Amino acid sequence: MQMATVRLIVNLFDDINFSGSFRTLVSDLNDFRLIEFNDRTSSVQVIQGPNFQPGDAARLCDNINFGGASITLPPGNYPDLRQFNFNDLASSLRIVGTTPPPDNVIAEDFQRETLQFNLRVIPPAGATLVSVNQNRILNPTCSGSFVGDTGVIINGSFIDELIVTINQGGINRQATGQATITFSKQLNFPQIAGLNKNNLRINCTISNVSQNFTVSGNVVTKTVQFDLRTQVIRLLTGSGVETAEVLADELGPQINEHIVEVE
């Protein structure tokens, strides 16, 4: 009898901090309704299985059949999926592995980035802030441009949305406000020196966004983390991925304050 291949053991819990009911999966499952666990996962343990390969990770998707938004979790403990804006959303699971970059990727950088900043909440005239109820990161995007012979600058942004309770005229009500947060990062790829930049393209992606915040008066202090992958791609036929040093400037932490007017 052929033994099943178990790359990862994934424990799903319906409460934070690995409590409440749970389910254990060791392979792909396209519909959590089959295990009566749809939209219930709040914390996750990802454990290396006997057939683990470096790069293996658990990808949770918010639709059945591996569709919709997703988060990718390497082996580790994840006590609160609210940090990933993914609480009670998972509907399917796929075990994924790292695939080698295609031959036309000639330079690549991958980092876990951290941003720290403050949001100052400005209620409408005559209103006061009662509480900050929810905070979401929306529409993370990035793009790159070449600088000099070996430099790449990545510029990115996301929308930070606050849902708050304000008191106006003695009545509490919900209000929403947004601020656009921008960032930039400079990379140095020695392996692209002397190459015609018209034959190259920069790809960058943001994934696995997590956050936490504290509130003091009308000021929300935020820490946002995300994975930032940058690739330089040769548009013409290339000879494969070149191995060379990547020099990167760290993003932060650097505290800036942004105004959020809620309505």
What integer pLDDT is reported at residue 102 of this predicted model?
60
What integer pLDDT is reported at residue 101 of this predicted model?
53
Is residue 146 within 8 A of residue 167, CB to CB? The reply is no
Between CA 96 and CA 248 the distance in angstroms is 28
Q: Tell whether pTM > 0.85.
A: no
Residue 127: C-alpha distances to residues 102, 121, 167, 263 (Å): 56, 11, 5, 10
The domains found in the chain, sorted by start residue, are: 8-96 (2.60.20.10), 105-261 (no CATH)
Q: Is residue 143's pLDDT more than 50?
A: yes
Comparison of pLDDT for 257 and 142, the residue scoring more = 142
Between CA 207 and CA 204 the distance in angstroms is 10
pLDDT, tens only, 33-81: 999 999 999 999 999 999 888 778 898 988 888 887 778 888 889 899 8
Summarize the confidence of residues 109-126 as an average pLDDT: 88
Closest CA to 46 of 37, 36, 56: 56
Is residue 9 within 8 A of residue 47, CB to CB? The reply is yes
What integer pLDDT is reported at residue 82 of this predicted model?
86
Quickly count helices (H) and strands (E) in the chain: 0, 15
Is residue 188 within 8 A of residue 244, CB to CB? The reply is no
Q: Considering only 179-183, 204-208, 259-263, which range has the smallest mean pLDDT?
A: 259-263
Q: Is residue 23's pLDDT more than 90?
A: yes
Q: How many residues comprise the chain?
A: 263
pLDDT, tens only, 83-116: 877 899 999 999 987 554 565 788 888 888 889 9
Summarize the confidence of residues 229-244 as an average pLDDT: 59
Is residue 109 within 8 A of residue 250, CB to CB? The reply is no
Q: Residue 261 forms beta bridges with which residues?
A: 122
What integer pLDDT is reported at residue 56 of this predicted model?
85
